[in-house]
Chains A and B, each alone.
Chain A
Amino acid sequence: KAGVTQTPRYLIKTRGQQVTLSCSPISGHRSVSWYQQTPGQGLQFLFEYFSETQRNKGNFPGRFSGRQFSNSRSEMNVSTLELGDSALYLCASSWGTGDYGYTFGSGTRLTVV
């Protein structure tokens, strides 16, 4: 079966711009979670969407937002990019609540210059 697909794989943006990242979960998975990975802060939870609703949110500023579509695909958006937003952004999908079968995508590596 197809895995979790994240696009694009690499992205270079200029400070002040906005960016949208996409995550297509495994077919049938309804939960999509997003994580930011940086050398300084490690892996941090951004937010989770389940059946088009944001169910959980991490401790990130409002510049970070997301949404989920009816086919469970999810997008995250970062507005007014800062240099510190440079990171590997990972998404993970799972079937539902309490399911430990998280599957991660390969990530989108965002560089802000």
Chain B
Amino acid sequence: AQKITQTQPGMFVQEKEAVTLDCTYDTSDPSYGLFWYKQPSSGEMIFLIYQGSYDQQNATEGRYSLNFQKARKSANLVISASQLGDSAMYFCAMSPSNNAGNMLTFGGGTRLMVKP
């Protein structure tokens, strides 16, 4: 079974500053994928970034980067230069190995609030 833990229920960050959202995971799968999604108050899940378990380099997508530490089983999201529009719920998620199908296990989420 896979498990995702997000220990920060809510966080504040000043506009234009960087922020790190924590995510730890547990799995017995040798191969897996890690995701971060943003969910604004409207409800849709917006894909931010993906990291494969065998990827050698940390993933980056614009202002988003994923700090992947496999030995520690952590996949923290770093948002640089926060913007007011970044205020939302953020979910860390995991998918099983490539042949197991498309199903995600989500963490409990972190509510990020960006202060002007």
Which residues of A come within 8 Å of B, CB atoms?
A: 31, 33, 35, 42-45, 48, 50, 55-56, 58, 88, 90, 92, 94, 97-107, 109
A112 to chain B, nearest CB (A): 18
Q: Can you name 11 extra interface pairs (CB under 8 A) apart from A58-B103, A100-B33, A109-B43?
A: A33-B102, A42-B108, A43-B106, A44-B106, A56-B102, A88-B43, A97-B102, A102-B35, A104-B37, A106-B44, A107-B43
Flag the segment in B10-18, B68-76, B92-100 that touches A.
B92-100
Q: List 22 A-B contacts (CB under 8 A).
A: A33-B104, A42-B109, A43-B109, A44-B106, A48-B102, A50-B102, A56-B101, A56-B103, A90-B45, A92-B102, A92-B104, A98-B97, A100-B50, A102-B47, A102-B104, A104-B44, A104-B45, A104-B47, A105-B44, A106-B42, A106-B43, A107-B43
Which 3 interchain pairs have the tightest Cβ spacing? A98-B98, A104-B45, A43-B106
Number of B interface residues at 8 Å Cβ cutoff, please give it: 27
Bound complex: CA of A95 vs CA of B102, how far in Å? Answer: 10
For A101, the chain B residues whose CB sits under 8 A away are 47
Q: Is B80 an interface residue (CB 8 A)?
A: no
Which residues of B come within 8 Å of A, CB atoms?
A: 33, 35, 37, 42-47, 50, 52, 91, 93, 95, 97-109
What is the interface of chain B mostly: helix, strand, loop, or mixed? mixed
A40 to chain B, nearest CB (A): 11
Selected contact of B44 from candidates A44, A98, A102, A107, CB within 8 Å: A107
Which chain B residue has the least Cβ–Cβ distance from A104?
Answer: B45
Which chain B residue has the least Cβ–Cβ distance from A6?
Answer: B44
Bound complex: CA of A109 vs CA of B43, how far in Å? Answer: 9
For A42, the chain B residues whose CB sits under 8 A away are 106-109
